[in-house]
Amino acid sequence: MKEIYVQGYDTVVEFPDDTTPSVIKSALQKRFPETDDQFVARIKDPSTQAADVSFKDFQRYKQLDTGMELLEVPGVVAQAASIAAKELYDGAKAAINLSLQGEGGKAAASLAEGATRGTTDLVSLGRRIGEGF
C-alpha cells in the first residue's frame, strides 16, 4: 500500500500499490480540498501568475485575506523589483545572443518582451498592494 500524507489535514491516506499518480491526485483533490490557509499562501506566492487566478479565486481571496500589513510592503516592493529586473536581464541576454547571431529583429522583440513582462508584473503587483490598503 502507498501511504500519502495530506498536508493541511494532518492525515495519512492509503492507496493500493498499482494506483496511478493521476488517480491519487484526483482522489485527494476531491476528498481534501485546498484549505483556506493553503489557498491564501498559493495566491500570495510570487510565482503564481495573475492569469492563473480566476475571478472566483480572487473573490475568495478577498474574503479570506484582510489586506497587506504595512510592514509587508517593503519586502513585496523589493520582490517585485527583483522579478522585473530578472525579466529585463533575461530579455537583454537573449537580445545580445540573437544580435551576435545576426538576428537583430528577433533581438529587439526579445528585449521588448522582457520589458513588457517586467512592467506587467509590476503593474499587477501595484494593484495588489493598492487593494490591500
pLDDT of residue 133 exceeding 60, the answer is no
Indicate if 79 and 130 belong to the same structural domain.
yes
**Global pTM?**
0.41
pLDDT of residue 45 exceeding 90, the answer is no
Indicate if 83 and 125 belong to the same structural domain.
yes
Residue 1 one-letter amino acid:
M
Domain extent for 78: 69-133
Contacts of 121 (CB under 8 A, 6+ apart): 80, 83, 84, 87
Indicate if 90 and 127 belong to the same structural domain.
yes
Taking alpha carbons only, the member of 50, 68, 70, 25 closest to residue 121 is 50
Q: What is the pLDDT of residues 83-128, one digit of tens each?
A: 777 877 877 787 788 778 887 777 777 777 777 777 777 777 777 7
pLDDT of residue 18 exceeding 80, the answer is yes
Q: How many domains does the chain have?
A: 3
Indicate if 73 and 119 belong to the same structural domain.
yes
Indicate if 53 and 21 belong to the same structural domain.
no
